[in-house]
Amino acid sequence: MNHYSDTDHILAQPLELPCGTVLKNRLVKSPMSDSLGNGEGNPTEAQKRLYERWAEGGIAVSMIGEVQGDPRFPERPGNLVLGAHTDRPAMQALIRRATVTGAQLWPQLGHAGALSYGPISHPKGPSALNIEGLQCAGMTRDEIQQLPGMYATTALHAKTLGFNGVHLHAGHGFLLSQFLSPLFNHRNDEYGGSIQSRCRIVLEIIDAMRAAVGPSFPVGIRINSSDKLDGGLTEADAIEVIRLLDQVSIDLIDISGGTYFPGAKASSEGSGRGPYFVDFARRAKEITKVPLMVTGGFKTHEHARAAVADGATDIVGLGRALVLDPRLASIWLAGRTGDPDFPGFESPPTGGITAWYTMRLTALGEDREDEFTLDLASAIRVYEERDLQRCVTWRHRLL
């Protein structure tokens, strides 16, 4: 047992959000695409068990990545979908199991846009694209103006089902991130041009969601600190986005970075070994009163403690660290040693690391992580084959 100063207990302190909801501590399972839906937009037993394990491990909130309101534009066919086809008993069972020990469960509301999964989608983005590895049609103005209603309806579905909040995905190169980026948004109407205009649809969606769920239901958002692409969203742009978000009814701003566009750098490239976006968060703290969460690169208890104690962020978002050890929150909250041992991958193939962590999530949900032995190439193969098998079901049930 190590001996810690009073500031080490800061991770265990509750946090009240602007809407009045209280988070029991400062550690949140950040949204990741777990690809554990059943191909019909509903949760599997493995997914229920996975989120139960994180709740048992002491996390304040688990955020489910890539939950769709429009099944025509999924990130993967393992995404959950909230809408007419939702299996309410199955979804509510997921919520019950993910909220044991006072944890909360928030869906990350997404729309993959230009990155929609090709075998079951006709990708669309703010502007038409035709580049190597990525093609999409441009959205019409009418299609854009339907987005706030879609997101509002999905947020209300989440509240009615019993989720504890919602988290809007405007990062990592998916649709709303595409609107924010001048590299992918070439529009010459009110939704393109200046950063204020590129952010317009995001603000309209937040206003519509808030009107739908009311003032006391948490609404958060993920944004990029930058796209890490030449000509993409810059840190100066992102600071202006935060300034604009400070003027609407939002409860949490989750800062991350990077994109899944072909050729983009991983968030960790060029950012050092530690947390990747803490310095940007310090700048953001100067211009917003909204609580901040930083996601990316938190690998040690000291990283997490220092970021909150120094005032850079209010919440630490944990992703891959919790894939390596679902009990990590309780270990850190107790002030015990036990930082996860991150694997080293030499010259990983494109998509290999993401596939490896995604397949380890499946092993966690099946309580067989001790048997998990996939290498990167095998993880990619199993990951891709599983999603292709789900496509028939997705088309039949949701399209």
Model confidence over 207-222: pLDDT tens digits?
A: 999 999 999 999 999 9
Per the CB < 8 A criterion, the answer to whether 255 and 210 are in contact is: no
Q: How does DSSP classify residue 245? A: H
How far, CA to CA in Å, does 64 sit from each of 245, 256, 369?
22, 16, 20
Give the C-alpha separation, 129 to 39, whole Å: 28
Residues paired with residue 172 on neighbouring β-strands, in sequence order: 259
- Count: domains in the chain: 1
CA 337 to chain CA centroid, Å, is 27
Domain that holds residue 166: 6-348
- Per-residue pLDDT, 265: 62
396 part of a folded domain: no
Model confidence over 79-90: pLDDT tens digits?
A: 999 999 999 999
176 part of a folded domain: yes
- Per-residue pLDDT, 346: 87
Q: Is the predicted pLDDT of residue 53 greater than 80, yes or no?
A: yes
Nearest alpha carbon to residue 62 among 46, 47, 79: 47
28 part of a folded domain: yes
- Per-residue pLDDT, 296: 92
- Per-residue pLDDT, 142: 98
Model confidence over 136-160: pLDDT tens digits?
A: 999 999 999 999 999 999 999 999 9
Q: Which two three-digit tokens encode residue 297?
A: 């690169």
- Per-residue pLDDT, 157: 98
- Per-residue pLDDT, 259: 81
CATH number of the domain bearing residue 182? 3.20.20.70
Residue 100, SS3 per DSSP: helix
Give the C-alpha separation, 40 to 77, whole Å: 8
Give the C-alpha separation, 167 to 170, whole Å: 9
- Per-residue pLDDT, 155: 99
Q: Is the predicted pLDDT of residue 251 greater than 80, yes or no?
A: yes
The kind and range of the H/E element at 169 are strand 166-170
- Give the sign of the dihedral formed by CA 11, CA 35, CA 95, CA 52: negative
Nearest alpha carbon to residue 375 among 336, 337, 341, 348: 348
Model confidence over 319-356: pLDDT tens digits?
A: 999 999 999 999 999 987 789 999 999 889 989 999 99
Lowest mean pLDDT among 165-169, 209-213, 261-265, 385-389: 261-265
19 part of a folded domain: yes
Q: Which residue is associated with the tokens 């580049």?
A: 131
- Per-residue pLDDT, 33: 97
pTM > 0.85: yes
Give the C-alpha separation, 156 to 152, whole Å: 6
- Per-residue pLDDT, 2: 38
- Per-residue pLDDT, 207: 99
Per the CB < 8 A criterion, the answer to whether 159 and 288 are in contact is: no
Per the CB < 8 A criterion, the answer to whether 291 and 242 are in contact is: no
Nearest alpha carbon to residue 61 among 357, 256, 279, 295: 295
Provide the percentage of residues in the chain whose pLDDT is more than 90: 88
Give the C-alpha separation, 176 to 223, whole Å: 9
Model confidence over 254-272: pLDDT tens digits?
A: 999 988 776 666 554 444 4
106 part of a folded domain: yes
Nearest alpha carbon to residue 284 among 237, 221, 242: 242
Nearest alpha carbon to residue 128 among 138, 114, 140: 138
Nearest alpha carbon to residue 28 among 240, 322, 358: 322
Q: What is the DSSP string of 42-64?
A: -B-HHHHHHHHHHHHTT-SEEEE
Distance separating the N- and C-terminal Cα atoms of the chain? 55
Max CA-CA distance within the chain?
60
Instruction: Provide the mean pLDDT of the chain.
Output: 94
- Per-residue pLDDT, 30: 98
373 part of a folded domain: no
- Per-residue pLDDT, 269: 44
Pairing of strands 104-110, 15-16: unpaired
Q: How does DSSP classify residue 342? A: P
- Per-residue pLDDT, 229: 86
Give the C-alpha separation, 75 to 57, whole Å: 28
363 part of a folded domain: no
198 part of a folded domain: yes
Q: Which two three-digit tokens encode residue 325?
A: 């050890």
E strand residue ranges, 78-162: 104-110, 124-125, 129-131, 134-138
Q: Is the predicted pLDDT of residue 114 greater than 90, yes or no?
A: yes
